[in-house]
Amino acid sequence: MREDLTVAEAVALAHRQEWAFVLAATARVTRDLDLAEECVQDAYAKALTTWTETGVPARPGAWLTTTARNRAIDLIRREAFFRTALPLLADEETTSGPADGEDIADERLRLIFTCCHPALAPEAQVALTLRLVCGLTTAQIARAFLVTESTMAARITRAKKKIAVARIPYRIPDAEDLSDRIEMVLTVVDLLFTTGHVAPNGPDLMNTELISRAVDLARMLVELLPGDEEVAGLLALLLLTDARRAARLGSSGAAVLLPDQDRGLWDQAAIREGQSLVRRALRRRPPGQFAVRAAIAAVHSESPSWGATDWDEIVGLYDVLIARRPSPVAALNRAVASGFAGGPEAGLAALDRLATEPQLATYPYAAVARGEFLHRLGRREEARAAFEEALTFTENKAERDSLRQRLAELGEG
């Protein structure tokens, strides 16, 4: 523990870094997620006062775990006769009881795989991961997803009830299920990051809280599953994308798109780490979707300017991605890249081929891309119509400002 930290900072750091482990280890004693959460919250509250008196312990995570577990044992003894229908965490090794010597990495993995179980609705997986693995409060999660606290509380309660009643197991999946289930976990983290990277609505372009939680989770997964190339690919993708954070907002608060970004503002340390992870991720044959998406971000990151981007390489990577995992958004991005590789006519033709794709009909970036190519061809009125169409599809203020700015430029020219 760093000595220059105040107690409050040390508790906040332990909250970020140790919550998942403390909760997972406590849940092994309580067999009940709600009770475990209660005890872990108590332990963090107690840390604030105790550490002020005794100093920050050498291993804050161990201190918090012991405190939370003792509290749990105390409560279980005291309330044994009052607590009815304890929602048991289904675990085939129930009879062996909590194992103290067990690998601490496994404890956190169990918790993550439980939160991201495919029997839970995707939004419940995201909410539970933030709640149980990251320790965010229901109010914080509700704010991040712009729903009321009571809606979010109901969603989390329902998901926890399903874990208990349907007996979703609290364990790492068997080898045969593992790769599917890891992909599910990675998808949840990716969704968290994307939600933070471009907030779907509201005043800010980004929700930095969600971004850092997603990066923390990806780092945790790399630590827990060091041999998995897709996990490395996900962390690479998040680092390379987030490296552009400082360049994404102009002085007026409007979103600055990739072509116009000041690349001097990109975070070079994050880019170096991301690029080295991409190399590791691409070792898998065939490469997974996160490795390929990270490779695309890496091509942008090593290009000195928008004009110098290796578009043929990017088109080729999108082909690999679409072969692995077809999606309308990937097809759109490929169309845009092919426009930069082969000229605006080619880009428009590629976009036209996607015109009947229902998922893209109200997707603002499809209209933005069309506007961009029309603008390059000097078809100003059509470009204007495309940007106006894009405006009707986004509620994000920073994006709206950026689109209005482009419309104003079209008017002047």
Partner 1 sequence: MARYLLLIHDNEAYYDTAGADERQALDEGHEVFAREHKDIIVEGGHLQASTTATVVRQDGKGDFLLTDGPYAETKEALGGYYVIDVATLDQALAVAKRLPFFGEVGDAAVEVRPMH
CB 311 within 8 A of CB 337: yes
φ/ψ of residue 377, rounded to 5? -85, 0
Closer Cβ to partner 1, 162 or 219, answer by number = 162
**Min separation Cβ 159 and partner 1, Å:** 13
The least CB distance from residue 118 to partner 1, in Å, is: 9
Q: Which is nearer to partner 1, 120 or 367 (CB)?
A: 120
Q: What are phi and psi of 169, to 5 degrees?
A: -70, 150
**Among 59, 167, 272, 325, which residue interacts with partner 1 (rule: CB under 8 A)?**
167
CB closer to partner 1 out of 118 and 202: 118
Helix H, strand E, coil C: the string for 351-399 is HHCCCCCHHHCCCHHHHHHHHHHHHHCCCHHHHHHHHHHHHCCCEEHHH
- Between 76 and 115, how does the x/- string for binding to partner 1 read (CB under 8 A)? --------------xxx-----------------------
Q: How far is the CB of 124 from partner 1 (least distance, A)?
A: 14
The reply on whether position 121 binds partner 1 by CB under 8 A is no
Tell which positions 170-229 bind partner 1, by CB under 8 A.
173, 177
User: Helices then strands (H, E): number in the chain?
Assistant: 18, 2
Question: How many residues of this chain interact with partner 1, rule: CB under 8 A?
Answer: 12
Q: Nearer to partner 1 by C-beta: 169 or 342?
A: 169
Sign of CA dihedral 233, 212, 126, 204: negative
Q: Quick one: which segment of 159-167, 187-195, 222-230, 243-251 binds partner 1 (CB under 8 A)?
A: 159-167
**Least distance in angstroms from the C-beta of 233 to partner 1:** 26
Compare residues 173 and 250 and give the one whose CB is closer to partner 1.
Answer: 173
d(CA 68, CA 74): 10
Least Å from the CB of residue 95 to partner 1: 11
161 counts as binding partner 1 under rule CB under 8 A: no
DSSP letters for 236-297: HHHHHHHTTGGGSB-TTS-B--GGG--GGGS-HHHHHHHHHHHHHHTTSSSPPHHHHHHHHH
Does residue 96 sit in helix, strand or coil?
Answer: helix
Alpha-carbon gap, residue 321 to 326, rounded angstroms: 7
Name the token pair of 279.
């190399």
Among 57, 61, 87, 169, binds partner 1 (CB under 8 A): 169
DSSP-based three-state secondary structure for 153 = helix
Residues that bind partner 1 (CB under 8 A): 90-92, 117, 119, 165-169, 173, 177
